[in-house]
Amino acid sequence: MINKQKIVTNLVKLYRKLPYKLMSGLLKNSYYKFLRSDIQNRTVIKNVDGINYELDLTEVIDSAIYFNQSREPDTTKALKLLCKPGMIVIDIGANVGSHTLPLANSVGDKGKVYAIEPVPWALDKLRKNLALNHFSNVLIHPIALSDYTDENAEFSLRASFKTTSENPVNENGGLSESWWSACEKVSVKVDTLDNFIVKENIPHVDVIKLDVDGFEVKVLKGAERILQSFKPIILMELAPSWLKEKGDSIEELLSYLIKCGYKFYDETTFLEVPEILNSVSKIKSDSGINVIASATELKK
């Protein structure tokens, strides 16, 4: 029997590689509607690569895990290669645990994964997903990381992305009104990663996964001692519009890491990207890419 869902999913992968994406909003909604057509329930439990998830099929991340085994397959593969048994990993922007749980699997019982997530909606789903499994090496922390400390700061944050949602970034690189209307007002403790490591008595850090919707510069500036002392490998998102929205720039982010002794690598090939500033200049205003930053030569 022909698997229609697999065929459509493969067509979507080809579509994403096209330089021009016509009718992207309409096609996205039709795609998710088609995927859900044979599913009776909105919420399902599914085992993916030995890990159990409670998935809401109206959510983008959950639907991607259900139908494609991962929201970010290249990132998932890269993290699996980078993270070895016994390592300590910091997942900053853990969301529902789509990377947290595979990371826990990779580092094993002798390793640790510290999941940092400040949004209550995501925290609830992350805890539910963790409870469906038997990992004893995941520690969830409901805080935000930045370059300053505050016992009770307020943010407008979002972790839920519906399959019917519009692209949050418009053609001019600004956030749409629909993005802001869907945000949660979050009151949360803010700390630096440097302080967090000391308070939690973490002996070293091997890998950092960083995806915080434009707060990347602030998080990394609050981790200067960690970057200098431990030189952890960083897999992070580079999204110019999100950084600009938070008052920073992609040039500032890259220059800071270069000063800390880092070089940049493609997350798929692990090949060095020597002219990183030139490469990121080609990122479209409504898009972003993931890269690996490492202070030592990266090999697959």
In sign, the C-alpha dihedral spanning 76, 80, 81, 87 is positive
pLDDT in tens, 15-40: 455 444 443 444 455 555 655 555 55
pLDDT band at 205 (very low <50, low <70, confident <90, very high): very high
Q: Render pLDDT for 207-264 as a digit per residue (tens, 0 to 9).
A: 999 999 999 999 999 999 999 999 999 999 999 888 988 999 999 999 999 999 999 9
- By the 10 Å C-beta count (0-12 exposed, 13-18 middle, 19+ buried), 180 is classed as exposed
| Mean predicted confidence (pLDDT) in 67-85 | 94
**pLDDT confidence of residue 273:** 93
Angle CA(49)–CA(53)–CA(55) in degrees, nearest 5? Answer: 125
When pLDDT is cut at 50, 70 and 90, the band that residue 108 belongs to is very high
Query: Looking at the predicted structure, is the pLDDT value of residue 51 above 70?
Result: yes
Percent of the chain whose predicted confidence (pLDDT) is above 90: 63
Decide if pLDDT at 166 tops 70: no
Read off the tokens for 270: 């692990």
Q: Which residue is listed with tokens 């749409």?
A: 176
pLDDT at 11: 52
How many CA atoms within 13 Å lie on the side-chain side of 57?
19
Question: What is the pLDDT averaged over residues 191-196?
Answer: 98
Give residue 267's pLDDT. Answer: 95
State which amino acid sits at residue 86. G
- Give the model's pLDDT for residue 169: 65
The pLDDT value recorded for residue 282 is: 79
- Of 119 and 177, which is predicted with more confidence? 119
Q: If you average pLDDT over residues 192-215, what whole number do you get?
A: 97
Residues 6 or more apart whose CB falls under 8 angstroms from that of 247 comprise none
Is residue 178 scored above 80 in pLDDT? no
Mean pLDDT of 156-167: 78
Q: Which CATH architecture has domain 71-294?
A: 3-Layer(aba) Sandwich (3.40)
Q: Tell which wins on pLDDT, 96 or 63.
A: 96
